[in-house]
């Protein structure tokens, strides 16, 4: 009984109260030993929750506590070594017994020596997170370690009270999830049970509910270690627990956002050609710095923070206008915790405009394009600008930052879509002459908004039906025309503008004006050129008499069509820059002699020499169409058409002819559908065009252009 009374009086003296409620003389401060791991020790330029607790105790009950322990330093998280003496505010009692990475499984065996050397009245312990996070211990095992810890404290100081801090959860910022939540909750429940079981009248054991308002995504700078707000959260719960033991008062209302008031160092600025080099002293504990700038020459009154922190102690601000005066200041960053700006310095940048024009090249890819260009001397980078030709109102947009290299691969582009590109050399913000432009179609299947079929009678469908089956008799349009067979089920139905007898002039004057300017992502197909070459007249002459004497003149006329066709194709492309424009070409009209099996009426009229001439002229026409398509940088399907029709031209006999011969035209001196595709021929046309489209979808397309 006498021993119990003596112990009770010691405890009352520690708390500052006398027996029977009478005021006591000033009691000696309670000796507080703080034990923990990195969360408690802190790292360079932390305030630490020990600091927050000390400031609270000093503000509410000055002299109530004396922090004791064998250490005063924090961990240098940059050099990854112990011994840093840099606190955000060193004006507090720094004594402690915490160590970065310390697990309870080790500390339980050494705490006795620490207690013996520091003689604490109260031991605050926040340990256990490392045991199951890194050592694989279960909550039950960690609680067992804590039980041994309590026993070893009491072995060294039987009257010491112990405050066990609840273990805190951690946060994975990449996976956006709380770590070990269930294990942490289990362990904290065991800590509460342990405190209730081990607490005595001479050696109180209580818990600090540090996890109560704890949010590791908001209260840490790296998912584990407390930021300034988190430090206050931890300190407040220990203050409340200490108040329950008679040391100090409860913390009260906690602030919701506590700044890390560590300022960056004063930078040193070096003016360079169109740039300013910034050097600054390292801020202890900070692993990066935000750079804030104010362009004085532009009249800016506020600093703008650059969007990402910079590691190291040097950085060069590029993209500055020659003669600009710019102020810079530094803000230290520790993980996700930013400090406050340091003193600002200013400098003036110089430079000159880029003089040369880069030459731009490119190639398509799947959802991307590959750009490269010739270098320009004296530049800091290149702006890349793009115009989405698949939109109905294409305008230039600039990638938000210049590229320092002479190549770039823009990604996340649409499938099967035309884009126009250019690069602009930049010296700081001084722009040089823009490059040429290139149009690149990405690989993939395009999501066409419209489909227009242009051209002559081969496009309109003449010859695919009887004369009374055209829905537009003037232009001889039929739904058996290949334009109706080209689209897949999910693609738009054609708007067939083709007309029998059309020449290139009709494309310009009648058909093309019916397509809106910049119609977006569309498909345009056409056959044109046969009427410009005079094929209809030649075929009539061949049937009514010998026409081989016209061959040389016809070849010359076809050669002369290249520029006219190229101009037509270019006009289509310029009206619809986002279109896949496919020039289909013509079949070779008749099978090669002597394989031709024409009817007697037909065979008697056209000689083998005339058949050869017709094939030569059609082949020549296709070659000129392909060259004109290359000149205008549209897509030619001439080879695909000839390949699909091979062996099925007029007079194919048992092989099946896909081009009408004159014998099939009844009641006319010369049937209008003579030497035009049959319904089966239009199917072949559709296959030929889709063969070419499949190649286009597989590899994309590229073209140089001077268009803006």
User: Could you tell me the two tokens for 48?
Assistant: 């630490």
Dist CA 274 CA 349 (whole Å): 5
496 phi, psi to nearest 5 deg: -85, 110
| 470 close to 500: Cβ distance less than 8 angstroms | no
- Mean pLDDT, residues 463-483 taken together: 85
Torsion 505-509-510-512 (CA) sign: positive
Dist CA 26 CA 16 (whole Å): 7
Dist CA 89 CA 262 (whole Å): 9
The 10s digit of each residue's pLDDT in 215-248 is: 999 999 999 999 999 999 999 999 999 999 999 9
The 10s digit of each residue's pLDDT in 409-428 is: 999 999 999 999 999 998 76
Residue 123 has pLDDT above 50, yes or no: yes
Please give the pLDDT value at position 601.
Answer: 52
**Residue 332 CB contacts under 8 Å (≥ 6 apart), including other chains:** 45, 262, 263, 264, 283, 285, 286, 288, 289, 338, 339
Classify each residue of 208-240 as buried b or exposed e, where b means 16 or more C-beta atoms within 10 Å of its C-beta: bbbbebbebeebbbbbbbbbbbbbbbbbbbbbb
Dist CA 304 CA 298 (whole Å): 13
Share of the chain above pLDDT 70, in %: 92
In sequence order, the β-bridge partners of residue 275 are 272
- Mean pLDDT, residues 685-700 taken together: 96
Residue 263 has pLDDT above 70, yes or no: yes
133 phi, psi to nearest 5 deg: -80, -35
H helix or E strand, kind and range, residue 60 = helix 49-60
411-415: long-range contacts at Cβ-Cβ below 8 A with a sequence spacing of 24 or more?
411/367, 411/368, 412/367, 412/368, 413/367, 413/368, 413/369, 413/442, 414/367, 414/390, 414/442, 414/444, 414/447, 415/366, 415/367, 415/442, 415/443, 415/444, 415/445, 415/446, 415/447
Residue 491 has pLDDT above 90, yes or no: yes
Give the pLDDT band (50/70/90) at residue 551.
Answer: confident
Please give the pLDDT value at position 258.
Answer: 95
Give the pLDDT band (50/70/90) at residue 536.
Answer: confident
Please give the pLDDT value at position 466.
Answer: 62
- Mean pLDDT, residues 279-301 taken together: 94
Please give the pLDDT value at position 18.
Answer: 32
- Residue of 360 and 545 predicted with greater confidence: 360
Q: What angle do CA 194, 124, 152 make, to 5 degrees?
A: 60
Residue 489 has pLDDT above 50, yes or no: yes
Please give the pLDDT value at position 8.
Answer: 33
Give the pLDDT band (50/70/90) at residue 544.
Answer: low
Please give the pLDDT value at position 664.
Answer: 46
Residue 2 has pLDDT above 60, yes or no: no
| 243 close to 56: Cβ distance less than 8 angstroms | no
Dist CA 440 CA 94 (whole Å): 66
Residue 691 has pLDDT above 90, yes or no: yes
Lowest mean pLDDT among 6-10, 132-136, 295-299: 6-10
Query: Known catalytic residue: 457?
Result: yes
Residue 572 has pLDDT above 80, yes or no: yes
Please give the pLDDT value at position 350.
Answer: 79
The 10s digit of each residue's pLDDT in 576-604 is: 999 999 999 999 988 888 776 676 555 55
Dist CA 147 CA 561 (whole Å): 98
DSSP 389-429: TTSSS--EEE-SS-BSSSEE---SPPTT-EEEEEEEEEETT
Strand 580-583 to 304-305 pairing: unpaired
Dist CA 373 CA 424 (whole Å): 10
- Separation of CA 615 from chain center: 54
- Separation of CA 640 from chain center: 39
Please give the pLDDT value at position 288.
Answer: 96
The 10s digit of each residue's pLDDT in 630-669 is: 999 999 999 999 999 999 998 887 788 899 876 444 444 4
Dist CA 509 CA 515 (whole Å): 12
- Mean pLDDT, residues 348-371 taken together: 90
The 10s digit of each residue's pLDDT in 366-394 is: 999 999 999 999 887 899 999 999 998 89
The 10s digit of each residue's pLDDT in 8-48 is: 333 333 333 332 233 333 478 999 999 999 999 999 999 99
Q: Which of 96, 289, 676, 682 is catalytic?
A: 676
User: Could you tell me the two tokens for 543?
Assistant: 């049937």
Burial class (CB in 10 A: 0-12, 13-18, 19+), 80: exposed
**Residue 272 CB contacts under 8 Å (≥ 6 apart), including other chains:** 316, 349, 350
- Residue of 379 and 85 predicted with greater confidence: 85
Q: Three-state DSSP class for 519?
A: coil
DSSP secondary-structure letter at 513? Answer: G
Please give the pLDDT value at position 467.
Answer: 53
- Mean pLDDT, residues 491-497 taken together: 96
Please give the pLDDT value at position 5.
Answer: 30
User: Could you tell me the two tokens for 398?
Assistant: 């600039």
Please give the pLDDT value at position 666.
Answer: 46
Q: Which of 43, 457, 459, 460 is catalytic?
A: 457
| 610 close to 546: Cβ distance less than 8 angstroms | yes
Residue 514 has pLDDT above 60, yes or no: yes
What is the average pLDDT score of the chain? 90
Entry field: residues in the chain: 708
DSSP secondary-structure letter at 442? Answer: P
């Amino acid at each position: 009984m006498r021993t119990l009374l003596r112990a009770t009086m010691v405890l009352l003296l520690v708390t500052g109260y006398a027996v029977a409620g009478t005021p006591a003389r000033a009691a000696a401060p309670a000796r507080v030993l703080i034990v923990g791991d990195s969360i408690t020790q802190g790292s360079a330029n932390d305030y630490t929750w020990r600091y927050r607790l000390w400031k609270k105790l000093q503000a509410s009950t000055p002299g109530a506590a004396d922090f004791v322990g064998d250490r005063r330093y924090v961990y240098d998280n940059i050099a990854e070594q112990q011994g840093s003496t840099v606190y955000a505010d060193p004006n507090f009692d720094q004594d402690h017994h915490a160590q970065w990475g310390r697990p309870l499984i080790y500390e339980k065996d050494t705490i006795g020596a620490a207690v013996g050397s520091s003689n604490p009245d109260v031991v605050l312990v926040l340990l256990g997170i490392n045991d199951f996070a890194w050592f694989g211990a279960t909550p039950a095992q960690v609680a067992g370690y804590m039980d041994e810890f309590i026993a070893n404290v009491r072995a060294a100081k039987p009257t010491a009270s112990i405050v066990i801090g609840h273990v805190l959860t951690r946060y994975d910022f990449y996976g956006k999830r709380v770590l070990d939540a269930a294990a942490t909750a289990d362990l904290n429940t065991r800590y509460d049970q342990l405190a209730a079981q081990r607490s005595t009248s001479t050696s109180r054991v209580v818990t600090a509910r540090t996890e109560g308002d704890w949010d590791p995504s908001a209260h840490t700078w790296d998912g584990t270690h407390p930021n300034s707000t988190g430090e206050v959260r931890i300190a407040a719960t220990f203050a409340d627990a200490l108040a329950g033991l008679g040391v100090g008062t409860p913390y009260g209302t906690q602030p919701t956002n506590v700044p890390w008031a560590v300022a960056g160092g004063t930078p040193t600025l070096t003016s360079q050609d169109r740039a300013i080099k910034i050097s600054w002293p390292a801020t202890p504990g900070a692993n990066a710095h935000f750079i804030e700038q104010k362009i004085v020459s532009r009249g800016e009154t506020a600093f703008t923070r650059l969007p990402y922190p910079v590691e190291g102690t040097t950085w060069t601000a590029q993209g500055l206008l020659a003669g600009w005066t710019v102020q810079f200041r530094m803000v230290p960053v520790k993980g996700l915790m930013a400090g406050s700006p340091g003193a600002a310095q200013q400098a003036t940048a110089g430079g000159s405009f880029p003089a040369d024009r880069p030459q731009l090249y490119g190639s398509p890819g799947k959802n991307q394009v590959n750009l490269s260009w010739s270098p320009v001397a004296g530049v800091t980078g290149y702006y890349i600008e793009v115009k989405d030709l698949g939109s109905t109102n294409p305008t230039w947009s600039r990638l938000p930052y210049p590229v320092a290299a002479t190549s770039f691969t823009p990604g996340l582009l649409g499938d099967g879509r035309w884009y126009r590109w250019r690069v602009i050399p930049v010296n700081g913000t001084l722009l040089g002459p823009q490059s040429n432009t290139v149009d690149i179609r990405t690989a993939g299947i395009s999501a066409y908004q419209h489909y227009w079929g242009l051209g002559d009678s081969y496009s309109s469908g003449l010859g695919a039906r009887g004369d009374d089956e055209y829905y537009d008799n003037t232009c001889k349009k039929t739904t058996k025309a290949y334009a109706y067979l080209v689209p897949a089920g999910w693609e738009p139905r054609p708007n067939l503008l083709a007309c029998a007898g059309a020449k290139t002039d009709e494309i310009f004057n009648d058909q093309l004006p019916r397509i809106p300017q910049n119609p977006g992502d569309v498909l345009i197909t056409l056959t044109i050129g046969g009427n410009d070459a005079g094929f209809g007249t030649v075929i009539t002459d061949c049937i009514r008499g010998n026409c081989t004497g016209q061959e040389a003149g016809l070849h010359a006329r076809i050669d002369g069509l290249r520029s006219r066709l190229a101009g037509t194709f270019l006009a289509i492309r310029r009206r619809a820059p986002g279109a896949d424009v496919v020039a289909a070409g013509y079949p070779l009209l008749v099978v090669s002699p002597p394989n031709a099996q024409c009817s007697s009426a037909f065979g008697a009229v056209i000689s083998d020499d005339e058949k050869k001439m017709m094939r030569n002229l059609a082949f020549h026409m296709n070659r000129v169409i392909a060259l004109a398509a290359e000149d205008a940088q549209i897509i030619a399907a001439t080879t695909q058409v000839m390949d699909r029709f091979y062996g099925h031209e007029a007079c194919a006999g048992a092989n099946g002819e896909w081009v009408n011969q004159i014998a099939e035209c009844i009641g006319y001196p010369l049937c209008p559908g003579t030497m035009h595709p049959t319904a089966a021929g239009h199917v072949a046309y559709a296959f030929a065009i889709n063969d070419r489209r499949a190649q286009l979808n597989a590899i994309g397309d590229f073209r140089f252009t001077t268009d803006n």
